[in-house]
Chains A and B, each alone.
Chain A
Amino acid sequence: MAPVSASAFEYAPAPESRSVVDIASSYGLFIDGEFTDATGGKVFKTVSPSTEEVLSEVAEASEEDVDRAVKAARKAFEKWSALPGAERAKYLFRIARIIQERSRELAVLETLDNGKPIKETRDADLPLVAAHFFYYAGWADKLDHAGFGADPRPLGVAGQVIPWNFPLLMLAWKIAPALATGNTVVLKPAETTPLSALFFADICRQAGLPKGVVNIVTGDGRTGAALVAHPDVNKVAFTGSTAVGKAIARTVAGTRKKLTLELGGKGANIVFDDAPIDQAVEGIVNGIFFNQGQVCCAGSRLIVQESIQDELLDALKRRLSTLRLGDPLDKNTDIGAINSAEQLARITALADAGEAEGAERWSPACELPDTGYWFAPTLFTNVTQAHTIAREEIFGPVLSVLSFRTPDEAVAKANNTQYGLSAGIWSEKGSRILAVASKLRAGVVWSNTFNKFDPTSPFGGYKESGFGREGGRHGLEAYLDV
């Protein structure tokens, strides 16, 4: 869908070819190197959020299936952890290379199953997935030098539960460090986006990974809960909502399971009056509309200095009017579909609450497709700290705009949240950036940029955004007995 303010220069449809990916009509669970039906044969459908087309039927793992998977991982652990690090490294390098080779296929698949634009899966998700495996591959035979003492030991079986917003990237963030350190894995992908994890199972097969080292169990929250609660799991890693994170923390309480949680956020994007305005506008757009705002570290609160508020909002609105919403497979699409009807309902309810509480709502003229789950890019002004939309994570393309007068006030507002995952600072004054960055209670701070990720860069939150870090040397700690 082109912006409604029609230009003479209308971009013709430029869809990425779907034929590059071959989705089977059904998928089983990947346990001990084999695809197997769920005990009891329960299945669920996964649909394409942009069209509501059913893509495939996927097995729903029961408690019994989870137990089979954990047993397989346990069995594989002995040999896998005893393998020389250099050999484990080579498996991971193989996986990284196969991902690079199959990146077009995986990008299209991810776009189909998730609804996010092909531009993002092609230019962000897949390159980062491959890079993450490449990075951790290199650690596998260097753990003695990682600063965790000599010969740090793996934990055992890792139970990993990942979200739907970056399905394959979150898989990479979980599996790459786990395998590099010598753990084996049972991973549960999100209910609405199981396919790329199942394709990853095939990549493990191509790479010749020993059976049982990676097991994929698909299902909903019940499958995840069974995995987290399984007594023979040594490590639990979860990325998802803060509410579920807390439930998991309670589940593992009193056990020896090591836990890392990467949860919600309400990131502040602070724009000072000396900011590079045009780049700040891009950063704001990238901060909240990247992946339809379904990003835990999204810059969902714009905190702008009052002296430039009007100017910045004018520029921002003008920019939003150029966003192209529509077919996620179209290479020119900026905004894709919301991942599920459930998520759309949540975004809608919170945005309505914002309006009901008196904030001023604005969206660019933008036609939404008739089928699928869509939400127009939305901006709320006249928002205060007291508004629901300034406090609750919306996890959608909705930006709340607040203002400040002094740097102290900016910091106070930015930190006034239960979360502490990300923040942005826009200023051309270096000393101010450093001072503000040091005061922000957030695990990742982007100065004059936003939503940048790299396998070498530790990622994770303060406060209720969770604990533990993924990425970098820090990311090893979550999977080592240290």
Chain B
Amino acid sequence: MPTTAPPAHALADVTASDSTLRRFLHGLPGVDTVGLEARATSLGTRSIKTTAKAYAIDLAISMVDLTTLEGADTPGKVRALGAKAVHPDPTDRTAPTTAAVCVYPDMVAVAKEAVAGSGVKVASVATAFPAGRAALDVKLADVRDAVAAGADEIDMVIDRGAFLAGKYLKVYDEIVAVKEACGTSARLKVIFETGELSTYDNIRRASWLGMIAGADFIKTSTGKVAVNATPANTLLMLEAVRDFRAQTGIQVGVKPAGGIRTSKDAIKFLVLVNETAGQDWLDNHWFRFGASSLLNDLLMQRQKLATGRYSGPDYVTVD
């Protein structure tokens, strides 16, 4: 398979061959597991109160990719989700909209309609999500389908099998091809399925591989495996986007997905962003949460801050 022309940036030449790419990825600094996790834990002890908490909750709401990725999804379910994305808190119209709704390709048109005019984006998983085990043509057709239906963002999965087998150029070529299929209208999020990559060294390598190939976002996981987003793997990816920008001038977003359910968790992730990549990423153009139940907890915390009373599940909407 011919290698697609790499995007033009300072690291373009590392993809000249499988061996140059391997040398580059394996030349990245190693990750010490204990130190990485300790740093993530330590940042998790930040105490975010009062005004800072209010800011963080609204920011977190605005960063949610409100997600439904079930076999049982229907147009009705997706419309409900879209309505919630546009007006997350039915009792308080000052609540920000979420960043996006995230659905399967066949639901993109429905979602698009549901959020029309709100500024809420529609993201679609594609490339034979979540396993990614299909021929490239099929994956690309999947992407084109979603883009044609109006998807603003494509969440692709990488070929973890190829990655773990050391076929980095194959992974790279696929991302480049998908990026091309996204055209100019859709931003590309590249999902690594960090739980399957297993080691932090692999997550760092995958991050750089994805960014070199043109990812607009790097994303932890599908939400479909045992280990999804964690503070540590997100911290590691934030270090990667920080360092990538320093080296190439290109800013790439980060999306932890799966397993983030509480406001407290979300705020910890925002602290990671603030103290690792920095304030340039404190914006839903550059940071997202792939989540569903998180939104209700954020809303209940928001109500508590506004009223001083603890809220309850009957005061937010069921999905």
Contact = CB atoms under 8 A, between A and B. Distances in A.
A9 B56 contact: yes
Contacts of B38: 282
Interface string A194-217: 000000000000000000000000
7 tightest A-B CB contacts, nearest first: A279-B35, A14-B47, A428-B30, A331-B47, A276-B32, A279-B32, A277-B29
Interface in A221-278: 274-278
Interface string B151-189: 000000000000000000000000000000000000000
Contacts of B106: none
B94 interface: no
A119 interface: yes
B279 A8 contact: yes
B45 A9 contact: no
Interface string A104-139: 000000000000000100010000000000000000
Contacts of A183: none
Nearest to A322: B275
B278 to A, nearest CB: 7
A25 interface: no
B53 interface: yes
Nearest to A123: B45
A449 B42 CA distance: 14
Q: Which of A7, A276, A331 has the most CB of B within 10 A?
A: A276
B35 A8 contact: no
Given A9-B52, A12-B53, A332-B47, A276 B35 contact: yes
Interface in A1-52: 7-14
A66 B271 CA distance: 51
Given A9-B55, A9-B279, A276-B30, A449 B35 contact: yes
A8 B55 contact: yes
Contacts of A11: 46-49, 52
Contacts of A184: none
Nearest to B280: A7
B52 A278 contact: no
Contacts of B31: 276, 278-279
B52 A10 contact: yes
Contacts of A331: 45-47
Given A277-B29, A278-B29, A448 B47 contact: no
A283 interface: yes
Contacts of B190: none
B72 interface: no
Interface in A414-450: 428, 448-449
A278 B279 CA distance: 19
Given A9-B274, A11-B48, A11-B52, 16 more contacts: A7-B278, A8-B282, A10-B51, A12-B48, A12-B49, A119-B45, A276-B32, A277-B29, A278-B35, A278-B39, A279-B31, A279-B34, A282-B38, A331-B47, A449-B32, A449-B35
Interface string B24-64: 00000111101110110000011111111101100100000
Contacts of A322: 275
B270 interface: yes
Q: Which of A8, A12, A123, A282 has the most CB of B within 10 A?
A: A12
Given A276-B29, A331-B45, A283 B35 contact: yes
B187 to A, nearest CB: 22
Contacts of A12: 48-53
B45 A7 contact: no
Task: Say whether chain B's binding surface is mostly helix, strand, loop, or mixed.
Answer: helix
Nearest to A283: B35
A448 B55 contact: no
B239 interface: yes
Nearest to A429: B30
Q: Which of A7, A119, A279, A322 has the most CB of B within 10 A?
A: A279
Interface residues of B, number: 29
A138 B231 CA distance: 36
Contacts of B30: 274-276, 428
Nearest to A279: B35
A4 to B, nearest CB: 13
12 contacts: A9-B274, A11-B52, A12-B48, A12-B52, A13-B49, A14-B49, A119-B45, A276-B35, A279-B31, A279-B34, A282-B38, A428-B30
A169 B226 CA distance: 40
Nearest to A3: B275
Contacts of B274: 7, 9
A11 B268 CA distance: 12
Interface string A274-301: 1111111011000000000000000000
Contacts of B34: 279, 448-449
Interface in A284-329: 322
A26 B188 CA distance: 67
A7 B36 CA distance: 24
B35 A9 contact: no
A17 to B, nearest CB: 12
Contacts of B278: 7
B56 A278 contact: no
A448 B36 CA distance: 11
A136 to B, nearest CB: 26
Given A276-B31, A277-B29, A322-B275, A9 B270 contact: yes
A73 B239 CA distance: 56
Contacts of A13: 49
A101 B157 CA distance: 49
Contacts of A274: 29-30
A458 B145 CA distance: 64
Contacts of A275: 29-30
B236 to A, nearest CB: 8
A331 to B, nearest CB: 4
Contact of B36 (A10, A14, A123, A279): A279
B55 to A, nearest CB: 6
B65 to A, nearest CB: 20
B23 to A, nearest CB: 14
A10 B59 CA distance: 13
Contacts of A283: 35
